[in-house]
Amino acid sequence: MSGGHALIIGGSVGGLFAAHLLRSVGWGVTVFERNVEDLAGRGAGIGTQDALHEIMRRLGMPIDDTMGVEVTSCICLDRAGQIVHEQPIRRVMSAWSRVYQPLRRALPAECYRAGWRLERIESENGRASAVFAGGRRAEGDLIVGADGLRSTVRAQVLPGARPTYAGYVAWRGMAEEREIPAGLRSFVFDRYSFCLPKGEMLLAYPVPAPDGSTAHGRRGYNVVWYRPVDEMTLTRMCTDADGHHYEAGIPPPLIRPEVLGAMRADAEAKLAPQIAAIMIHAAQPFFQPIYDLASPQIVFGRVALLGDAAFVARPHVGAGVTKAALDAACLADSLTGAGSDIESGLARYNEEQVRFGNWIVARSRELGAQVTETRDRRAEQVMREHSAANADLRELAAGRMPGRP
The 10 Å Cβ neighbour count of residue 40 is 15
Highest mean pLDDT out of 13-22, 61-70, 95-104: 13-22
Among the residue ranges 2-16, 263-277, 323-337, 374-388, the one predicted with the least confidence is 374-388
Q: Are 311 and 293 in contact (CB under 8 A)?
A: yes
Q: Are 30 and 138 in contact (CB under 8 A)?
A: yes
**Whether residue 272 has pLDDT greater than 80:** yes
Q: Are 89 and 72 in contact (CB under 8 A)?
A: yes
Nearest-angstrom CA–CA distance, 107 and 17? 10
In single-letter form, the type of residue at position 65 comes to D
pLDDT band at 1 (very low <50, low <70, confident <90, very high): very low
> What is the strand order of the sheet 303-305 is part of?
112-114, 28-33, 5-9, 142-145, 303-305, 299-300
The 10 Å Cβ neighbour count of residue 84 is 15
pLDDT-above-90 percentage for the chain: 57
CATH number of this structure's domain 5-63+97-163+292-369+383-398: 3.50.50.60
pLDDT at 282: 85
Among the residue ranges 180-189, 270-279, 306-315, the one predicted with the least confidence is 180-189
State mean pLDDT over 58-64. 79
pLDDT at 41: 59
**Whether residue 74 has pLDDT greater than 70:** yes
Conformation bin of residue 115: beta by default, left when phi > 0, alpha when psi is -120 to 50: left
**Whether residue 158 has pLDDT greater than 90:** yes
Task: Check the CA dihedral 248-320-166-310 and report its sign.
Answer: positive
If you ran DSSP here, which 8-state letter would residue 254 be given?
G
Bridge-based pairing of strands 28-33 and 5-9 is parallel
**Whether residue 302 has pLDDT greater than 70:** yes
Query: Smallest Cα–Cα separation from 364: which of 320, 305, 310, 330?
Result: 320
pLDDT at 38: 72
pLDDT in tens, 82-101: 999 998 888 888 777 788 88
pLDDT band at 404 (very low <50, low <70, confident <90, very high): very low
Nearest-angstrom CA–CA distance, 368 and 226? 9
Average pLDDT, the chain: 87
Query: Smallest Cα–Cα separation from 194: which of 92, 95, 275?
Result: 275
Nearest-angstrom CA–CA distance, 272 and 399? 41
**Whether residue 401 has pLDDT greater than 70:** no
In single-letter form, the type of residue at position 82 comes to Q
Instruction: Give phi and psi for 170, each to the nearest 5.
Output: -115, 110
Q: Which fold has domain 65-94+164-291?
A: D-Amino Acid Oxidase; Chain A, domain 2 (3.30.9)
221 vs 31, higher pLDDT: 31
Angle between helix axes 320-337 and 342-371 (nearest 10 degrees) is 160
pLDDT in tens, 211-265: 777 778 888 888 999 999 999 999 999 999 999 999 878 999 999 999 999 999 9
**Whether residue 399 has pLDDT greater than 50:** no
399 vs 380, higher pLDDT: 380
**Whether residue 53 has pLDDT greater than 60:** yes
Nearest-angstrom CA–CA distance, 169 and 314? 11
Torsion, Cα 83 86 92 98, to 10 degrees, reads -30
pLDDT at 259: 97
State mean pLDDT over 140-166. 95
Q: Are 319 and 91 in contact (CB under 8 A)?
A: no
pLDDT in tens, 347-391: 999 999 999 999 999 989 988 887 777 666 677 777 777 666 555
In single-letter form, the type of residue at position 31 comes to V
- Residue 265, classed as helix, strand or coil, is helix
Number of residues in the chain: 405
pLDDT-above-70 percentage for the chain: 90
Q: Are 16 and 31 in contact (CB under 8 A)?
A: yes
State mean pLDDT over 167-177. 91
Residues 6+ apart with CB under 8 A from 222: 44, 45, 93, 172, 173, 174, 204, 205, 206, 207
Nearest-angstrom CA–CA distance, 401 and 347? 18
How far is C-alpha 53 from the chain's CA centre?
16
Q: What is the pTM of this model?
A: 0.88
Angle between helix axes 96-106 and 13-24 (nearest 10 degrees) is 40
pLDDT at 44: 65
Domain residue spans of the chain:
5-63+97-163+292-369+383-398, 65-94+164-291
How far is C-alpha 103 from the chain's CA centre?
15
Q: Can you spell out the DSSP letters for 60-106? A: T----GGGSEEEEEEEEE-TTS-EEEEEEEEEEEEEHHHHHHHHHHH
In the beta sheet, which residues pair with residue 148? none
Nearest-angstrom CA–CA distance, 313 and 364? 6
Residues 6+ apart with CB under 8 A from 393: 49, 51, 317, 319, 322, 360
